[in-house]
Amino acid sequence: MKKPFPKMILRILLVCVLLLGFLYMDDDIGTSAANLESDIRNLQKIPEDWIVEGDVSDTMAAYISYPQDRSDHTFSVYVNRPGLSFGYFFRGGGSLSGVERGIAEFTVDGYNERAFISMNQPKAARLEIDDGNTVQIIDLNSDQPFAIVLPANAGVIHFYDGNGNPVNYQKNPL
């Protein structure tokens, strides 16, 4: 006498694995951190010769893409949704004068992080995070665009150029 119970469980497991595979292939359960650059290039039609740089945390990813001559740019912000999510989902992006000419801060409702993205025309050379007790300093290359993800509650954020002059940033909710 054969037992149909193990075969039925095997079939159910096979169907579940196939379903998860299809969801993953269709990006319905997110893009892995390792595949974000590829997703950015495909989704936003970024040419292969453009530079793509960014920062990834557990819940947010921010990227800036630009050609060698820095004549154009595209930014990308992704979030890692809570629940049945195995990766990051595109939340917003494109080209903004705030990213081109200054520093843009991006926040997403319901997420406790923020992204700072810039082509760095103001030549920001230093980022200071003041949590009320200590000041953390992050050096930036004043000649390079950047994308940085920070916790929303990290403290007061200040950017400075190479001469110590403050560089303002513009808030942009997504």
The answer to whether 41 touches 62, Cβ cutoff 8 Å, is no
Residues in a beta bridge with 129: 136, 157
What confidence tens digit (pLDDT) does each residue in 102-156 have? 999 999 999 999 999 999 999 999 999 999 899 999 999 999 999 999 999 999 9
For the chain, the distance separating the N- and C-terminal CA atoms, rounded to the nearest angstrom, is 61
The residue type of 30 is G
**What pLDDT does residue 97 have?**
86
- Predicted pLDDT of residue 106: 94
Residue 2 has pLDDT above 90, yes or no: no
Checking if the pLDDT of 26 tops 60, the result is no
Tell me whether strands 60-66 and 74-79 are parallel, antiparallel or unpaired: antiparallel
The helix (run of H) or strand (run of E) holding residue 25 is helix 4-25
Contact 108, 91 (CB under 8 A): yes
Across the beta sheet with 169-173, what order do the strands follow?
146-151, 113-118, 103-107, 169-173
Mean pLDDT score, 83-106: 88
